[in-house]
Chains A and B, each alone.
Chain A
Amino acid sequence: EAGVAQSPRYKIIEKRQSVAFWCNPISGHATLYWYQQILGQGPKLLIQFQNNGVVDDSQLPKDRFSAERLKGVDSTLKIQPAKLEDSAVYLCASSLGSPNQPQHFGDGTRLSIL
């Protein structure tokens, strides 16, 4: 079974620029998550999708972050404009969608803001 695919693996941009990350979840997984992981901390949920609908985006900084999952499969996360404090690893995870199922993570995109 192929795992969660993310790209790019690394991205370096200057502050105030925009950036986008892409995620392809495990086939058949209805639920997709985007997490932000700052160095030395645990992942923090940004947004959760069930199929193509948003379940929870309460911790997404909506003035600069946006995410979509138009066809209920792949997803993109965008930051515009980026700030220095956005430097982190952005992790995508997916799960089957039924209650109490483990999330499976991709290897993330490491974002550095100069």
Chain B
Amino acid sequence: GESVGLHLPTLSVQEGDNSIINCAYSNSASDYFIWYKQESGKGPQFIIDIRSNMDKRQGQRVTVLLNKTVKHLSLQIAATQPGDSAVYFCAGKTGNQFYFGTGTSLTVIP
């Protein structure tokens, strides 16, 4: 079946350092990917997306890289801040449906 998975369930980084969260997907037909941030008691919040015809996209302090050859994408957060502490999900779309990974919990150490 379809699967999207994150490599590490937890990640701790020092404030000010860069964070990298990795995600792998199984279906080469997936054509659109989204990274979400979820804080405790809240719904997932859109961070950045990327279409399969791109390999890199940048936002404010965030960059998503897509490697279709190995079916891998990553989220890079520059100068990580305490407010970045949350669970991060990647989601891939195949057809009309989105498949979510299990999430990586990012802890920022002051």
Which of the four size classes fits the interface of chain A?
A: 20 to 34
Given A55-B96, A100-B31, A100-B51: A42 touches B102 (CB 8 Å cut-off):
yes
Q: Which of B31, B42, B97, B100 contacts A48 (CB 8 A)?
A: B97
For the residues of A in contact with B, the DSSP-based class is loop
**Assembly CA distance A42 to B32 (angstroms):** 17
Contact with B along A37-56 (1 / 0, CB 8 A): 00011111100100000011
Which of the four size classes fits the interface of chain B?
A: 20 to 34
Interface residues of B (CB under 8 A from A): 4, 31-32, 34, 36, 41-46, 49, 51, 89, 91, 93, 96-98, 100-103
27 A-B Cβ contacts within 8 A?
A33-B98, A40-B102, A41-B102, A41-B103, A42-B101, A42-B102, A42-B103, A43-B44, A45-B98, A55-B96, A56-B96, A56-B97, A91-B43, A99-B32, A100-B31, A100-B93, A102-B34, A102-B46, A103-B34, A103-B98, A104-B46, A105-B36, A105-B45, A106-B43, A107-B41, A107-B42, A107-B43
